[in-house]
Amino acid sequence: MKIRSIEELEDKLEGDLSWRKKEILSLKILIDSDEINQRILLRAGIALLCAHFEGFIKVASNYYIVYVANKKIKADDIINTLVAIKMNKKIKQCGETEKFSVHGEMFTLLEKIKGENFYIKYTEESPIISTNSNPTSTVLEEILRTIGVDSDIFETKKQYIDYSLLRNRHKVVHGERHNLDYEDFINTHRIVLELLDSYKELIINAAEQELFLKEKTNSEYAECV
């Protein structure tokens, strides 16, 4: 996959988000129009909300890294967390052994990578960023740190993400006889749509401000000190 410009990134994000929104809004219409089956539809609805929430966050984050990878920038100029993704396999190997020879290989690899253009291959089957099927606020905040975006977008909605969305979703998909409150679902529905829109804008802004560059991160840090 190639995403060469901010316009292409925005088109990719909007394309992925639009079909998700269509399904989410269509289900709400069904819930509002079918009182007889509303309880069943609410249970199905919370699972769908969570699926699209997790799906878009994962896709948008990966598209952002694909965009960065297509910029053909030296890895030495890219923020360390993104470079760490490329070294993930070797880092894990180092954690599994006390052999200094293996640890030394990590530094050799780092020097090699830093001299090359930053690039990570992405496929839908092997995403770069994953939520591990459990998009808690903690997992989502780690994704933000990984891609170099400083935001409290998930922290401020932690209660809705971890409880109204995820806890209810887990109970439904694990086969529990768990009834959902209509008003709570509608509120969660609204929050999820807001978060999806906000995350899209967050990714686009990060690309526009080039937050993937070390110099941008360092200059912002200096301004805060």
Nearest to 195 by CA among 167, 145, 158: 158
**CB-CB neighbours of 12 under 10 Å:** 19
DSSP-based three-state secondary structure for 133: coil
**CB-CB neighbours of 193 under 10 Å:** 19
Q: Where are the domains of the chain?
A: 6-72+124-224, 74-116
Model confidence at 116: pLDDT above 70: yes
pLDDT for 19-73, tens place per residue?
999 999 999 999 999 888 888 898 888 889 999 999 999 999 999 999 999 999 9
Give me the amino acid identity at 206. A
* CA dihedral of residues 98, 101, 102, 105 (deg, nearest 10): 150
Q: How far is residue 67's CA from residue 222's CA, in Å, rounded to a whole number? A: 26
What does residue 63 show for φ and ψ, rounded to 5 degrees? -60, -35
Give me the amino acid identity at 215. E
Q: How far is residue 165's CA from residue 158's CA, in Å, rounded to a whole number? A: 10
Q: Where are the alpha helices (DSSP H) in 38-87?
A: 38-69, 80-86
Q: How far is residue 119's CA from residue 173's CA, in Å, rounded to a whole number? A: 37
Mean pLDDT of the chain: 87
Asked if 99 and 134 count as a contact pair (C-beta separation under 8 A), the reply is: no
Q: Out of 43-52, 81-90, 119-128, which region has the weakest mean confidence (pLDDT)? A: 81-90
Is 0.75 topped by the overall pTM? yes
Distances 37 to 24, 129, 172, 180, 183 between C-alpha atoms, Å = 17, 37, 16, 13, 16
pLDDT for 127-139, tens place per residue?
999 888 788 889 9
Q: State residue 174's pLDDT score.
A: 57
Nearest to 64 by CA among 148, 156, 155: 148
pLDDT for 90-101, tens place per residue?
677 777 778 878
What does residue 92 show for φ and ψ, rounded to 5 degrees? -65, -40
Give me the amino acid identity at 146. T
Tokens of 12: 């990719």
- List, in sequence order, every residue forming a beta bridge with 78; answer none if it has no partner: 213
**CB-CB neighbours of 155 under 10 Å:** 13
Model confidence at 173: pLDDT above 80: no
